[in-house]
């Protein structure tokens, strides 16, 4: 597998060469091990490269089909998770909060995906979609992402700033409340 990963950059380079010289029907190159690689072999590895990369990097699979109602329920659960997170602040248990928020199964960690499902649904009107927005198109949804990122970032610091963490968490909760209110006004 490692040999294939090392060779995949060579295959990508060869693919670029092939693309640039489409008129050339045959060519050969010698890889680092002294093996002669012809056009046909290069094309086989180019086709296999995405498979090799996905096996090696163990990319998390996106949820294939999230229903808008399930995405909305995930936002409600994310809000409850933020309430739980705020309890760590009252005891100034930053390590506990950091561990809690790093759990990938938390709904708040999947906010962007769930918000994307809601924004793609036909249940939200155009004005509501603009109000929520995304990280690319500013709105209260972007506030959720930015403020949650700020909380996690501050917790990564050697000495977390209690005031900064609590302000960012409060703003994140407020922004998520707005997103939920917008969704509720559209029948969720």
Total of domains in the chain? 2
What is the reported pLDDT for 139? 84
> Does 166 lie in the same domain as 118?
yes
- The CATH number for 114's domain is 1.20.120.290
* 125 and 74 co-located in one domain: yes
Q: Is the pLDDT of residue 20 over 90?
A: no
Q: Would you say 129 and 119 are in contact if contact means Cβ atoms under 8 Å apart? A: yes
pLDDT of residue 171: 93
Is residue 137 domain-resident?
yes
Residues 80 and 160 in one domain: yes
Whether residues 116 and 138 share a domain: the answer is: yes
What pTM was computed for the model?
A: 0.62
Has residue 62 been placed in a domain?
Answer: no
Looking at residues 36-64, what average pLDDT do you find?
Answer: 53
Say if residue 104 is in the same domain as residue 178: yes
Identify the pLDDT of residue 129: 87
Q: State which of 57, 76, 103 marks the end of a domain.
A: 57
DSSP assignment of 115-137 equals: HHHHHHSSSS-HHHHHHH--SSS
The parent domain of residue 180 ranges over: 68-185
Do 9 and 99 share a domain, yes or no? no
* Judgement on whether residues 75 and 98 belong to the same structural domain of the protein: yes
pLDDT reported for residue 4: 47
Torsion of CA 112, 136, 155, 181, to 10 degrees: -50
Q: Is 31 exposed, middle or buried (0-12, 13-18, 19+ CB in 10 A)?
A: middle
109 and 28 co-located in one domain:
no
Q: Is residue 178 part of a domain?
A: yes
* One domain for residues 107 and 169: yes
Res 136: pLDDT: 74
- The pLDDT of residue 134 is 75
Average pLDDT over residues 82-96: 87
Whether residue 38 is found in the same domain as residue 89: no
**Contact 101/85 with Cβ under 8 angstroms?**
yes
Tens-place pLDDT, residues 133-175: 877 778 888 889 988 988 888 888 888 788 888 899 999 999 9
Residues 171-187: what's their mean pLDDT?
Answer: 91
Is residue 148 domain-resident?
A: yes
Considering the domain architecture, whether residues 104 and 77 belong to the same structural domain is answered as yes
Cβ distance 16 to 8 under 8 Å? no
The rounded mean pLDDT for the chain is 76
Is residue 10 over pLDDT 90? Answer: no
Confidence of residue 28 (pLDDT cuts 50, 70, 90): low
Same domain, 88 and 180: yes
* DSSP character at residue 166: H
- How does residue 24 score in pLDDT terms, banded at 50, 70 and 90? very low
Which residues pair with residue 37 across a beta bridge? 29
């Amino acid at each position: 597998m490692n040999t294939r990963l090392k060779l995949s950059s060579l295959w990508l380079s060869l693919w670029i060469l092939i693309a640039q010289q489409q008129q050339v029907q045959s060519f050969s190159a010698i890889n680092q091990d002294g093996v002669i690689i012809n056009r046909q072999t290069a094309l086989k590895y180019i086709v296999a490269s995405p498979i090799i990369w996905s096996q090696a990097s163990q990319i998390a699979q996106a949820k294939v089909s999230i229903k808008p109602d399930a995405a909305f329920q995930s936002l409600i659960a994310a809000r409850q998770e933020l309430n739980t997170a705020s309890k760590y602040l009252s005891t100034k248990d930053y390590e506990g909060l950091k561990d809690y928020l790093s759990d990938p199964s938390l709904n708040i960690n999947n906010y962007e995906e769930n918000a994307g499902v809601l924004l793609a649904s036909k249940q939200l009107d155009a004005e509501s979609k603009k109000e929520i927005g995304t990280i690319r198109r500013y709105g209260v949804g972007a506030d959720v992402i930015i403020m949650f990122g700020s909380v996690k970032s501050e917790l990564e610091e050697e000495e977390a700033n209690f005031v900064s963490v609590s302000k960012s968490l409060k703003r994140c909760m407020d922004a998520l409340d707005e997103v939920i209110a917008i969704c509720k006004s559209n029948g969720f």
